[in-house]
Amino acid sequence: MAEKALARVTRLLSILSVLQHQEEATFAELGERFGVSARQIEQDVFLLFTTGKPGGMPDDYVDFDPDALDEGIARLRDAQGLTQVKLSAREAVALIGALGTLVAAGVAPQAAETALAKLRAAIDSNPIEVVADEAVDRARMSPLTDGLARGLAVELTYVDASDRRTVRVVEPHRLVAIDGIGYVECWCRRAQDYRTLRLDRIVGATLTDSLVTTAPMEQRGFSLEPRFAAQVTAHVSARWLLESMQDVVISDEGDAVTATFPVADVEWAAGRLLAVGPALRTIGPALLADAVARRALRVLEAQDGAA
């Protein structure tokens, strides 16, 4: 499988960061550290040798000791200020706020909570505290998350906006956060219809042994569950965009690149692919190809109308 550009750029910057702290390391040592071969590290170092600041003058380039390179040792002499990309204070606060909102809404996966804890530990303070309008009881969330994972219905005690308390059995389909408020999208057996219920208005939840039988209504809310695997072949100039697709697997062949990736939202994926429309060669399955074609046609019609 071809390596993604993002992975290599991250490693290149990390090599400089390591060498700035320990001055030198063998290709083999760096390879073991980054999980690649010594030969790959050698190629990375020689690429860095031709990298630097704009201007192109001799003293603008990253500099290594050439004699050490001949011995399989990377000895950094000038990193030109390059190191791993860091978040600015504003970016860090924004990320902490976004993750904190998901956690407060009760819809954050464990990975989000872990990332938030690491960010707060890294800056040794808490620059922003997200306070939900109503706290979501994690104990009441457990039957819902279990029901989602196991495909089982859940009995809820729910208080609506008019302060009316009802008991209903729902088939949970997905958890979402809208404007910082957590909701469960579900099929309500009591109403015999789809419902979107606020998590902070659930005062009791009990997992049942009744299986979920009603499919999610795709017109409501959104889903991050993949619907199918797409395979797209394009000119290598489109590689940058294909690399941005979630869980993508990429292979190169001559001037073409083929990407396979899961698709949860057809229209979103079609819109992304249209950004490199002229470079596209084949798109599968037909569902995605048709969506790209429809979007391209709308663009052409809009251009004709503006002419």
Task: Please report, for the domain that includes residue 22, its CATH number.
Answer: 1.10.10.10
Residue 166, domain CATH: 2.30.30
Asked if residue 21 and residue 46 are part of one domain, the reply reads yes
253 forms beta bridges with 256
For residue 49 the two structure tokens come to 């040798």
Maximal CA-CA distance, the chain: 79
Size of the chain in residues: 307
- Domain presence at residue 113: yes
Name the phi and psi angles at 211, rounded to 5: -75, 150
Output b/e per residue, 44-82; b: 16+ Cβ within 10 A. Answer: bbeebeeebeeeeeeeebbbbeeeebeeebbbbeebeeb
Asked if residue 99 and residue 71 are part of one domain, the reply reads no
- Domain presence at residue 84: no
Whole-number pLDDT of residue 130: 47
Name the phi and psi angles at 214, rounded to 5: -100, 130
Which positions ≥6 away from 286 have C-beta within 8 Å? none
Asked if residue 260 and residue 199 are part of one domain, the reply reads no
Residues 288, 292, 296: CA angle, nearest 5 degrees: 170
User: Cα-Cα-Cα-Cα dihedral of 264, 222, 302, 278, to 10°?
Assistant: -20
- Domain presence at residue 130: no
Over residues 220-273, the pLDDT tens digits come to: 455 556 678 999 999 998 888 898 888 889 998 889 999 999 987 788 888 889
Pair 225, 263: CB distance under 8 Å: no
Asked if residue 93 and residue 162 are part of one domain, the reply reads no
Asked if residue 48 and residue 114 are part of one domain, the reply reads no
Over residues 134-180, the pLDDT tens digits come to: 555 667 788 888 998 899 999 999 988 778 899 999 999 988 776 66
**Number of structural domains the chain divides into:** 4
- Domain presence at residue 217: no
Over residues 57-66, the pLDDT tens digits come to: 767 778 888 8
Give the whole-angstrom CA distance, residue 19 versus residue 29: 12
For residue 180 the two structure tokens come to 């910082």
Give the whole-angstrom CA distance, residue 302 versus residue 44: 46
Residue 277, domain CATH: 3.30.70
Give the whole-angstrom CA distance, residue 102 versus residue 132: 10
Expressed as residue numbers, the domain containing 292 is 228-306
Half-sphere exposure of 303 (CA within 13 A, CB side): 6
pLDDT at 216 over 50: yes
Cβ burial, residue 246 (10 Å; 0-12/13-18/19+): exposed
Whole-number pLDDT of residue 234: 94
Identify whether 285 is preceded by a cis peptide bond (ω within 30 of 0).
yes
- Domain presence at residue 174: yes
Q: Tell if the pTM clears 0.75, that is, is over it.
A: no
- Domain presence at residue 237: yes
- Domain presence at residue 119: yes
- Domain presence at residue 162: yes
Whole-number pLDDT of residue 128: 52
